[in-house]
Structure 1
């Protein structure tokens, strides 16, 4: 069931000039049952300006706290950077019906840029269940590895790719696919990266899609993507889709 709640801002700090970590405190028990792949929507300021909400993946959870990461891309996220600790924001959660599958014994998680935030809760759950996994995190350069410290704290196996070779392995994060054939693949990141994952896995990967959305529960149709059967709403039929089901 979707709930509208008041969340207290515990932390809202920059990791890089464009990427921020936001920690929200919610009523005890309100995060129970949230699944890897689901997301929340929040109003980026305590006022009615802007009116619309913004969607963010659950990067980590405790009994009453949610961690999300966001990149400053427009007016809404710019306003969010000004929210102070102790202020309260209106939050809708949990959203998203289709989530990452946990079946299978070996899992490869590919996160491109801020897209890694959509996979870390999954990594944590797979690790807890004793699954064999690897998180591959990619960015253009060392300076853009905003979530590296967070990933290190999770304690899951991971490797890093940078396009310019300034940190970790040189190349695209999709290079990892060559070494882990037969593993269940999950990915979140830029469209170009997801297209490459779709092609390399012959449509068998699970993709968490990011689209602009206004409502979060399938009414406005603003986040519709073309699928093999017509159109699917990322917020409702997704956000996780089998790669072969969607056009990118």
Structure 2
């Protein structure tokens, strides 16, 4: 990991709340794996304080791609940055990443959580694995990464809460349609991950989850991103994770 000042090559609105930032990162791009994340300084002042964590959604040549939702002051400030601006980035971060075991992989992404799986999916396909993405959102307007799935020619299934695109329902509904040979990896809102964890106890699937927690440092010092395991101990998402098996986390 390293702290770098990177140049913004693109920062554009996609749809709903989703934006895409492309960063020129020649020293970083070659070391990134699926599941890695970075901490980005959204303001050079202390307003807001601390950096924000973002999954590395893809790597294109010497660029890294960051898909992000504008949900607060920090991400709003990020969205105001222009092409050519400089931004301070710390990474790549994450000690425990996704599993490459097994030949069939079901990748379940809720909202912008799909960005936490996208690069991993490309890695699996390059290894000759069978990959199916499941992408869920509140409505068609919030399926901002659908073009990415199409451009990359992945097999995918769409769910929306209101039925405005794909199937109406929750992404977790699909788990019963795949046998236990499929290794499941997921990233998205905590209620989605909690429901998936519970359902996997019934179906017997092995489920890996990339957790999204608020964090200030990204390397295990601030203890702001801890989650509890079944033994009652706490694990740091940024350092022991961000990927855990569903059986290792108490929601």
CA drift at 1:50 = 3.0
- Name the residue aligned to 1:146: 144
CA drift at 1:17 = 4.4
Q: Which stretch of structure 1 is more off in the superposition, 232-241 or 15-24? A: 15-24
Gap runs ≥5 in structure 1: none
Task: Verify the 8 A CA contact 1:109 1:185 in the aligned structure 2.
Answer: yes
CA drift at 1:46 = 4.8
SS in 2 for 1:30: helix
Q: Count how many residue pairs are aligned between Structure 1 and Structure 2.
A: 246
Task: Verify the 8 A CA contact 1:205 1:242 in the aligned structure 2.
Answer: yes
Write out aligned runs for 1:114-129 (5 A): 114-129=112-127
RMSD (Å), alpha carbons: 1.4
Task: Verify the 8 A CA contact 2:17 2:142 in the aligned structure 1.
Answer: no
Q: How far, CA to CA, are the matches of 1:131 and 1:46 in structure 2?
A: 43
Q: How far, CA to CA, are the matches of 1:241 and 1:114 in structure 2?
A: 19
Q: How far, CA to CA, are the matches of 2:102 and 2:109 in structure 1?
A: 20
Task: Verify the 8 A CA contact 2:69 2:75 in the aligned structure 1.
Answer: yes
CA drift at 1:3 = 0.4
Q: How far, CA to CA, are the matches of 1:80 and 1:228 in structure 2?
A: 37
- Name the residue aligned to 2:70: 72
SS in 2 for 1:20: strand
- Name the residue aligned to 2:154: 156
CA drift at 1:233 = 0.4
CA drift at 1:29 = 3.5
Q: How far, CA to CA, are the matches of 1:94 and 1:48 in structure 2?
A: 23
